[in-house]
Amino acid sequence: MAKKTVRKTAKKAKRVTKAKAKPRARTRDPLLDDIKRRWPSLSPVQARFVRLWCEGGLLFRDEAAKAIKITRWTEWHWRKTNEEYAAAIAWAEENRTETLENELIKRALSGPADSHSMTALIFALKAAKPSKYRDGHHAPSHVNITIPGLTLEPGE
């Protein structure tokens, strides 16, 4: 009878030890936490999409939508009807562009690089910020020159 008591006590001790063990460290996503802090009214799915779009790994909205199991139309509807979501997406696109710029600089400074991937990055930047990365500056084509008493039109 004494042996059974010892065994039961040992089992209880193991259970107590397991219960008092350190809880697992919960991994937090600082980017997702930042998004939820900035835009608290976003649903968890909207916040996940903003996070995914911010990271820039997926180039197309429909790929990002599929990744979190929504339709592309749902994401479009959120952008058009929810001002806070639209602001979050604009912020994510800025971060996404910065990520592309940093990657391009890193590859350019690291020495010889794959020209195809560099070209792809350049075109991605042109698509993300056409005002900054367009191919050339286009001057106005029509100019009026006025000299007192004389007006010249182009082609005269």
**Domain-embedded: residue 90:** yes
Mean pLDDT across 68-90: 95
What's the pLDDT tens digit per position in 84-125?
999 999 999 999 888 888 888 888 787 776 777 788 888 888
> Using CA of residue 90, residue 95, residue 101, residue 103, what is the dihedral sign?
negative
- Residue 87: give its domain's CATH number: 1.10.10
Residue 18 reports pLDDT greater than 80: no
**Domain-embedded: residue 18:** no
Q: Which two tokens stand for residue 141?
A: 């084509």
Looking at the structure of the chain, the number of domains it has is: 1
**Domain-embedded: residue 107:** yes
What's the pLDDT band for 17 if we cut at 50, 70, 90? low
Phi, psi of 151 (to 5 degrees): -120, 125
| Average pLDDT along the chain | 79
Dihedral, 115, 116, 119, 121 alpha carbons, nearest 10? -110
Residue 42 domain boundaries: 30-129
Q: What is the pTM of this model?
A: 0.62
What's the pLDDT band for 156 if we cut at 50, 70, 90? low
